[in-house]
Amino acid sequence: MEKFVPKFQRSPWPDGARVLHVYAVPNLQVDHQLARLVGECRKAMLPFPITPIGDGTLHCTLEMVADTTADKITAEERGALLGALRKHLADAGPLEITAGSPVANRVGAFLDLSPDDGLLDLRERVRAAIREVRGPGALLHDGGRPHISLGYSWATASSDELQTALRRISPSHAPVHVSGVQLLDVQFRQHSRPNGQTAWELSWELVAELPLDNAV
């Protein structure tokens, strides 16, 4: 495991910069089994140099608006993006997927999400909306397979040892209900950690909620 460094435009994220994202954000007040699984994962991560992601910022990334930072996107441009998102998501319905098993990786830990089909369709709809209003240059990042990040590492440690700890968690899966997506103004900043080290931490401001209320 190595230190996590977020990327923007394929380069290290400028400390404190804000960038628009579209996330699927789980509701732990509804998905109680997911809340339990996340809590057990946090216990497993405690001995490791990982900043856990809090209940309010758990998310599955669908896409980043990567052509410029959020402060350079005007209210009119945000309105156009919201209009395009509403259009492309108009006939999308809610999803029920499964989170788990928890996985240790190079920069922390995450919950795998499956099946992929519904989330990948959702991602393509979001990408189509962004492409429509901002052009293909706004899509610069490959999000990989859908997942929920659990925490980001701020120093080196053994991913094998973390995976062993996560593997002990049972049950290791939980249902997740995706009833909408959120357009968010996302910020990464570095914060102090022991021995002069720093950790990247995530926060955001809500721009708009977009329900997925078409019948499945």
Distances (CA, A) of 8 to 12, 27, 109, 126: 6, 27, 20, 18
- pLDDT confidence of residue 215: 46
Instruction: Give the pLDDT band of residue 68 (cuts 50, 70, 90).
Output: very high
Q: Which domains, and CATH codes, for the chain?
A: 7-211 (3.90.1140.10)
Strands (E), 13-125: 18-24, 50-52, 60-64, 95-105, 108-114
| Chain centroid offset of residue 193 CA | 23
Instruction: Give the pLDDT band of residue 216 (cuts 50, 70, 90).
Output: very low
Answering whether pTM is above 0.85, one says yes
For 119, the token pair is 């989330």
Of 34, 55, 52, which is closest to residue 43 (Cα–Cα)?
Answer: 52
